[in-house]
A and B are shown apart, each in its own frame.
Chain A
Amino acid sequence: MTIFKSLEELHHMLVNKEISCVELTRSYLDYIDSADSQVKAFLTVTADSALMKAAKVDKKIAGGESLGPLEGLPMAMKDNMCTEGIPTTCGSRILKNFNPPYDATVTERLKAAGAVLLGKLNMDEFAMGSSTENSGFHPTANPWDLERVPGGSSGGSAACVAAREVPFALGSDTGGSIRQPAAFCGVVGLKPTYGAVSRYGLVAFASSLDQIGPLTTNVRDNALVLNAIAGHDPKDSTSVPFVKPDYTQFLENNVKGLKIGIPDEYFASGLNPDVAEVIQKAIRTFESLGAEIERCSLPHTEFAMPAYYIIAPAECSSNLARYDGVRYGYRAEADDMIEMFKKTREKGFGQEVKRRIMLGTYALSSGYYDAYYLKAQKVRTLIKQDFDRAFEKYDVLLSPTAPTTAYKIGEKSDPLAMYMGDVYTIPVNLAGLPAISAPAGFVGGMPVGMQLISKHFEEGTLYKAAYAFEQNTEYHLQMPALLKEVR
């Protein structure tokens, strides 16, 4: 069946006219129809516009024109990236009726690359959460076990790729929101260097931490998607004018001499021993492939979590101030204006969003700024320096992506317990570094992800390491049982 193929294979099928783009698109739409009733990854399915786009690609093929590597291939986007005329809700009831009048830069770039948008994906409201249970609409299920969470906040993106509802999806990562769900769902998720992919049109959660990245079933697909979306954007002042390489050139099955650091702090208490075992095995695999492994230390790691939970809510409290029910989105009925604002926010925002707005407002308020926000920024500098020192010695750092595998829906009701799930991913966002999560094994039938971290703009090194691992293991080839049933 077509839906289990890689982007490269699908591309060749189109070019060789083994399948038309309309047929390909329709087969994915049909599959979404049957599978998504269980996974619930999609918030919006854009069948009509997808088929129209596919027909255009078919015309191109019929005309003998050559196709770009993503042209005619199906994909979906997390619902916090603006798509002109297509609902962009950010997983929040407050933006339920919001149809942006413009495209995000990543949307524009994927359109230009000819990819076919099949729909918008579920997420924790405003990207706040680690399980996609905080969606304002419904939770998404983990395709490996429908009673478990897919992770978050890009849970919809990870789940739909894991369930092969699309070959690739975009997610966003503020504190681990691409990597943690990628680990929980057994797919490849990359959080690029801050500034490598434009944030223009990404509905902001925490501006200094947010970054868009691809989720795919294998490393090569991931590199192909990054090729399409990375690069400088004059519409985003924090976007960096760097020379974008062809990321597929790094995909060689060779890690001989690659220096890999294993940070002690990422293997401390809180790490599930079975997950630790899987990661130790992955380390041994790298060793057997000729990589040089060494233990190292990132001494300020324990302060990353508290610093993150000051900085991210502070920025969110400001970024979310615009949602007042006046100009777009949901509006509550009330007798006067102030009541209307209050009710709109009371009903439009969920618990977690309100909690973080309160936290951030408090942390920024006069008298507390120095004690919280300023101190958190200082911690952030120390964490960056930890990494700088480590990268003087190592090409990549390797750690678990998350301390556990996916837990049951409703299992973690304490927000603090949920926050701990991002303990290994958050430092990367604070430092603006690129990191990838790739399938590393299974515990009790649930996927385990390993995280690889590299220097700024060294995504190529991550792809190189992850690709070599992938070529020498078979975890990425395993598929959820759900698919067999549907099939």
Chain B
Amino acid sequence: MSFTDKYEMVCGVETHVEMATKTKIFCGCSTEFGGEQNTHVCPVCLGLPGVLPVLNKEVVNLAIKAGLALNCEIAEFSKFDRKNYFYPDLTKNYQTSQYDLPICKNGWLDVTVNRANKRIGITRAHMEEDAGKLVHSGETIMTSSSSGVDYNRTGVPLLEIVSEPDMRSIDEVLAYLEQLVQIMDYAGISDCKLEQGSVRFDINVSLRLKGTEQFGIRTETKNLNSFSSVRRCLEYETERQAEALDDGGEIIQETRTWDEGRGMTLSLRSKEEAHDYRYFPEPDLMPLVIDRDWVERIRASLPELPAAKKARLQSHGLSEYDAGVITAARAMAAFFDQALARIDDAKLLANWVMGDLSGLLKTNGRSFEDSPVSPEQLAGMLTLIKKGDISGKIGKNVLEEIYNTGKDPETIIKEKGLVQISDESELGIIVDGILTANEKSVADYQAGKESALGFLVGQVMKATKGQANPGLVNKLLKEKLAQ
């Protein structure tokens, strides 16, 4: 019996999002990723004796914005606290974070899993500073003879978003995380580059017998930074817990780490060694009094979020699936919207955006953010198709030509002579020629063999190098064959 028949998982996630500010949370150093080690540092973010933090107001702006996007209450009075612990990559040996009065709380996110809607609660979101990065001389900390610390990341602003333990399946967890990251991306809270660690997940999971209310004992697996790791980690961890419970064992409440290479979670520290963080209000920073006008100004600046965008696209006649695919990535959605402003056919546009253009970009390793085909150019080309100036087939060639040359579709079809032949007399002459040259097919058709018509259409298209208007060809052939 698999565990899914017997147990139900209960999962909550803490998500750390690096906020997209130019400078750090408490000093003016750059937050740019990938600088040479220890070049984006100053006495303040190095925590030298005597330094003091000064709060970056942009961090508060982004935190409020994120809170609004996640349907949170924004605190009127908030403060920073010190979380005291001993870590080698945190120079002050305490982290300036928020404890009992976070800036955002009581929010929610709606996700759809297997056509069912589910609301996931968001307990809180708070601001804090990131730590530095250990650089080991060997493979791991245990096998290294020495380790260095790169403090470039120290002081990069983080938003920690804590969910309620509302998720009951791996699909729900992933739907929540994908939706969350999407919102952070849309609202401009973070660049959301998971591969650079700008979003990290701590997964809390426990099992309970199906039908019971009481939560089981949970484990926390720290610092996952991809959706696939989350899925594999949850698969492993729920299986591990199920086996332990089946064997009559107990789950230990502990912190675990995910070993990507071995595909398993490993114990990091148990409850007995749990830290006493000795929180107290940060005396070097004044409390934050957030006036409602400030919040309303930020609310007014919020862009359309994925859920609203998806609903709007559906109102344009797109299927839920299509609308979902297009809103999934902010750049694709933005491209789509810009093109949609120029062509009133969402379905046609969606087919080309998700199909040919996506394919073309993917083949060339590019994204919608730096697409050589502009939304205007794609809309222009689709307008030509709709007017009947070019066929869909020619459109594919035109799109590639735009991609390669950057020229406008009108220019391309003029230069290449790709304009569709829609002149009835001109096409009539060509059709006559084809009928004369294919007497057998004409006879077949007249004998009731419908497929012969398709062959004749193909011959006309071939003779015109695909430029003949297919509808007109059909019409002319039928008329002439009926004579």
Interface residues of A (CB under 8 A from B): 80-82, 88, 90, 95, 98, 100-102, 104, 199-204, 206-208, 234-238, 314-315, 317-318, 321-322, 324, 326-328, 361, 364-366, 369, 373
Q: Which chain B residues lie closer than 8 Å to A366 at the CB level?
A: 276, 278
Q: Assess the B84–A101 pair: CB atoms within 8 A.
A: no
CB-defined interface of B450-473 with A at 8 Å, one 1/0 digit per residue?
000000000000000000000000
CB-defined interface of B284-296 with A at 8 Å, one 1/0 digit per residue?
1110000000000
CB-defined interface of B29-60 with A at 8 Å, one 1/0 digit per residue?
00000000000000100111111111100000
Q: Which chain B residues lie closer than 8 Å to A201 at the CB level?
A: 50-51
User: Please, how many angstroms separate the alpha-carbon atoms of A317 and B48 in the complex?
Assistant: 16
Q: Assess the B43–A237 pair: CB atoms within 8 A.
A: no
Q: Which residues from 243 to 286 on chain B have a C-beta closer than 8 Å to any C-beta of chain A?
A: 276, 278-280, 283-286
Q: Assess the B55–A237 pair: CB atoms within 8 A.
A: yes
Q: Which chain B residues lie closer than 8 Å to A204 at the CB level?
A: 49-50, 284
Q: Assess the B283–A207 pair: CB atoms within 8 A.
A: yes
User: Please, how many angstroms separate the alpha-carbon atoms of A81 and B55 in the complex?
Assistant: 23
From B92, B93, B278, B286, give the contact of A364 (CB < 8 A).
Answer: B278
Q: Assess the B47–A322 pair: CB atoms within 8 A.
A: yes
Contacts known (A238-B286, A318-B84, A327-B91); A199 close to B49, Cβ less than 8 A: no
From B48, B52, B92, give the contact of A101 (CB < 8 A).
Answer: B48
User: Please, how many angstroms separate the alpha-carbon atoms of A139 and B286 in the complex?
Assistant: 37
Q: Is B94 interfacial (CB 8 A cutoff)?
A: yes
Q: Assess the B49–A203 pair: CB atoms within 8 A.
A: yes
Q: Is B77 interfacial (CB 8 A cutoff)?
A: no
Q: Is B86 interfacial (CB 8 A cutoff)?
A: yes
Q: Assess the B280–A364 pair: CB atoms within 8 A.
A: yes
User: Please, how many angstroms separate the alpha-carbon atoms of A234 and B27 in the complex?
Assistant: 11
Q: Across the A-B interface, give the 10 residue pairs with the lowest CB-CB distance, nearest first.
A: A321-B93, A364-B278, A207-B283, A208-B283, A203-B49, A201-B50, A82-B50, A203-B50, A102-B43, A322-B92
Q: Assess the A365–B49 pair: CB atoms within 8 A.
A: no
16 contacts between A and B (CB under 8 A): A81-B50, A98-B49, A100-B48, A100-B49, A104-B50, A203-B49, A204-B284, A236-B54, A237-B285, A238-B285, A314-B280, A318-B84, A321-B92, A324-B93, A365-B276, A369-B279
User: Please, how many angstroms separate the alpha-carbon atoms of A234 and B57 in the complex?
Assistant: 13
Q: Assess the B49–A322 pair: CB atoms within 8 A.
A: yes
Q: Is B82 interfacial (CB 8 A cutoff)?
A: yes
Known A-B contacts: A204-B50, A237-B284, A361-B278. Give 9 more (CB < 8 A). Answer: A81-B50, A98-B49, A100-B43, A202-B50, A234-B54, A237-B52, A318-B84, A327-B46, A328-B48
User: Please, how many angstroms separate the alpha-carbon atoms of A352 and B475 in the complex?
Assistant: 102
Q: Assess the A200–B82 pair: CB atoms within 8 A.
A: no
Interface residues contributed by chain B, number (CB under 8 Å): 27
Contacts known (A318-B82, A321-B84); A237 close to B49, Cβ less than 8 A: no
User: Please, how many angstroms separate the alpha-carbon atoms of A327 and B284 in the complex?
Assistant: 22
The distance from the CB of B157 to the nearest CB of chain A, in whole angstroms, is 16
Return the chain A residue nearest B277 by Cβ. Answer: A366
User: Please, how many angstroms separate the alpha-carbon atoms of A104 and B51 in the complex?
Assistant: 8
Q: Assess the B284–A207 pair: CB atoms within 8 A.
A: yes
Q: Assess the B91–A100 pair: CB atoms within 8 A.
A: no
- Among B53, B84, B88, the most chain A Cβ lie within 10 Å of the Cβ of B84
User: Please, how many angstroms separate the alpha-carbon atoms of A361 and B276 in the complex?
Assistant: 10
CB-defined interface of B74-99 with A at 8 Å, one 1/0 digit per residue?
00000000101010100111100000
Q: Assess the B49–A200 pair: CB atoms within 8 A.
A: no
From B54, B280, B285, give the contact of A318 (CB < 8 A).
Answer: B280
Q: Which chain B residues lie closer than 8 Å to A82 at the CB level?
A: 49-50
The distance from the CB of A77 to the nearest CB of chain B, in whole angstroms, is 12
Return the chain A residue nearest B47 by Cβ. Answer: A322
Q: Assess the A322–B52 pair: CB atoms within 8 A.
A: no
Q: Which residues from 67 to 125 on chain B have a C-beta closer than 8 Å to any C-beta of chain A?
A: 82, 84, 86, 88, 91-94
Q: Assess the B43–A88 pair: CB atoms within 8 A.
A: no
Q: Which residues from 364 to 399 on chain B have a C-beta closer than 8 Å to any C-beta of chain A?
A: none
User: Please, how many angstroms separate the alpha-carbon atoms of A28 and B285 in the complex?
Assistant: 40
The distance from the CB of B84 to the nearest CB of chain A, in whole angstroms, is 5
The distance from the CB of A151 to the nearest CB of chain B, in whole angstroms, is 23
User: Please, how many angstroms separate the alpha-carbon atoms of A365 and B276 in the complex?
Assistant: 6
- Among B52, B54, B84, the most chain A Cβ lie within 10 Å of the Cβ of B52
Return the chain B residue nearest A98 by Cβ. Answer: B49
Q: Assess the A90–B49 pair: CB atoms within 8 A.
A: yes
From A80, A234, A321, give the contact of B86 (CB < 8 A).
Answer: A321
The distance from the CB of A372 to the nearest CB of chain B, in whole angstroms, is 11
From B84, B94, B280, give the contact of A373 (CB < 8 A).
Answer: B280
From A208, A234, A322, A373, give the contact of B93 (CB < 8 A).
Answer: A322
The distance from the CB of B37 to the nearest CB of chain A, in whole angstroms, is 15
Q: Which chain B residues lie closer than 8 Å to A321 at the CB level?
A: 84, 86, 92-94
- Among B54, B88, B92, B286, the most chain A Cβ lie within 10 Å of the Cβ of B54
From B52, B55, B91, B93, give the contact of A200 (CB < 8 A).
Answer: B52
Q: Which chain A residues lie closer than 8 Å to B82 at the CB level?
A: 318
Q: Assess the B280–A369 pair: CB atoms within 8 A.
A: yes
Q: Which chain A residues lie closer than 8 Å to B91 at the CB level?
A: 322, 327
Return the chain A residue nearest B285 by Cβ. Answer: A237
Q: Which chain A residues lie closer than 8 Å to B55 at the CB level?
A: 237
Return the chain A residue nearest B42 by Cβ. Answer: A102
User: Please, how many angstroms separate the alpha-carbon atoms of A53 and B33 in the complex?
Assistant: 42
Return the chain B residue nearest A321 by Cβ. Answer: B93
Q: Which chain A residues lie closer than 8 Å to B278 at the CB level?
A: 317-318, 361, 364-366, 369
User: Please, how many angstroms separate the alpha-carbon atoms of A365 and B278 in the complex?
Assistant: 5
Q: Assess the B52–A235 pair: CB atoms within 8 A.
A: yes
The distance from the CB of A114 to the nearest CB of chain B, in whole angstroms, is 23
CB-defined interface of B322-354 with A at 8 Å, one 1/0 digit per residue?
000000000000000000000000000000000
Q: Which chain A residues lie closer than 8 Å to B48 at the CB level?
A: 100-102, 328
The distance from the CB of B94 to the nearest CB of chain A, in whole angstroms, is 5
User: Please, how many angstroms separate the alpha-carbon atoms of A199 and B145 in the complex?
Assistant: 40
Q: Assess the B276–A200 pair: CB atoms within 8 A.
A: no
The distance from the CB of A105 to the nearest CB of chain B, in whole angstroms, is 9
Return the chain B residue nearest A94 by Cβ. Answer: B49
The distance from the CB of B289 to the nearest CB of chain A, in whole angstroms, is 14
The distance from the CB of B143 to the nearest CB of chain A, in whole angstroms, is 15
User: Please, how many angstroms separate the alpha-carbon atoms of A328 and B92 in the complex?
Assistant: 12
